[in-house]
Amino acid sequence: MPELNNISTHDREQLKSQALFIQDQIHLTDRLNTLLALRLESYQHDYHNFISSTSWSTDNHAVIPRIGMTYDLTDQLTAYANISKSFKPNSGVDRNNQGFNPEEGISYEIGTKYTLLDEQLSFDTAIYYVKKENVLTLDPTNSSKSIAAGEVSSKGFDLSLIGNIIPAWKIIGNYSYVDASVNKDNTLEKGTHLANIPQNSFNLLSIYEFKSGLFDGLGIGINQRYIGNRKGQTANNTYTMGSYATTDLISYYDLNPDLRFSFDIKNIFNKEYDDSAFNRYVYPGQPRTAKLGITYSF
């Protein structure tokens, strides 16, 4: 891998944004509910190039809606659906030293929530599709510059289990499948997988907390995480970061309702793995790490 060197810049870019969020939840019937939300966002984008003395400033506004509905099929089973839009300003400039159109997206999600053991445990499922437009892609007339003409999407599903098996035993488990790929690009083929996104990932946290006796207030647990193979680069299929699994140990002691002592060991088996990548650089994962903490609530 190449060495990391200091990078000089010849321009200055500043982005300021303000937003107003409005949300209302309406009970249409005893079992049917709807959620209406609106985000009003305004941002100012300033740019100055010290070499060409080019400067510009733009002001843009966006209205970002979201609508969701839930229906209680039974007292324990609820179905839901969400539709929402997204908005994100693109940083940088094109070959004419002008700003880009903002990245915009839309997402669809449907799922279920099922509670059991007297609502102490929840099993959730979700299926989703997300599409983003105006993603930066290479300028076909100048390979060192970009244009906002790309489109990417991701689709997949999540399975989650959260709650208490018994009052003292809490678990949080999640499995995710994601297919994130390119829909449209000036240089990449449709269907090219995006970098740093595993198709399969899994996490399971299990904690037992003593509620009485000599060890009252003591909690001990284990967290197991699995991350599947990931592409190191979207533009080139030059390397793949392998899958890995890590194990964390968790412990804490509540001296009283306000004071907690904790001691955790991350990656207890000191597994070596690639955490993420950017261009030709790969960032290593965190080695075995011990962390001692004190938390006091006022």
The string of pLDDT tens digits covering residues 36-57 is: 999 998 888 888 877 777 787 8
d(CA 65, CA 102): 16
Whether pLDDT at 297 is above 60: yes
Looking at the structure, give the CATH architecture of the domain made up of residues 94-296.
Beta Barrel (2.40)
Whether pLDDT at 3 is above 60: no
Q: Where are the beta strands (DSSP E) in the chain?
A: 11-27, 32-49, 55-72, 77-88, 103-116, 121-139, 142-166, 169-184, 200-209, 218-227, 230-231, 240-241, 244-256, 259-266, 274-278, 281-284, 289-296
The string of pLDDT tens digits covering residues 57-70 is: 888 888 899 999 99
Whether pLDDT at 172 is above 70: yes
pLDDT of residue 76: 94
d(CA 151, CA 189): 12
Q: What is the dihedral of CA 170, 171, 172, 176, to 10 degrees?
A: -170
pLDDT of residue 9: 65
pTM of the shown model: 0.81
Instruction: Kindly indicate the confidence band of residue 7, based on its pLDDT and cuts at 50, 70 and 90.
Output: low
97 vs 84: which has the higher pLDDT? 84
Mean pLDDT of 215-226: 96
Percentage of the chain exceeding pLDDT 90: 57
Instruction: Kindly indicate the confidence band of residue 93, based on its pLDDT and cuts at 50, 70 and 90.
Output: confident
d(CA 187, CA 138): 7
CB atoms closer than 10 angstroms to residue 199: 15
Q: Which residue has the tokens 């390119």?
A: 182
* Type of residue found at 230: R
Please classify residue 117 by burial: count the beta carbons closer than 10 Å to its beta carbon, then call 0-12 exposed, 13-18 middle and 19+ buried.
exposed
d(CA 144, CA 150): 16
Per-residue burial over 281-294, b if 16 or more Cβ lie within 10 Å, else e, is eeeebeeeeeeeee
pLDDT of residue 249: 97
Whether pLDDT at 194 is above 90: no
Mean pLDDT of 282-297: 94
The string of pLDDT tens digits covering residues 139-157 is: 666 766 776 768 899 999 9
Q: Which one-letter DSSP state was computed for residue 102?
A: P
Task: Single out the residue of 159, 167, 79 nearest to residue 121, CA to CA.
Answer: 167
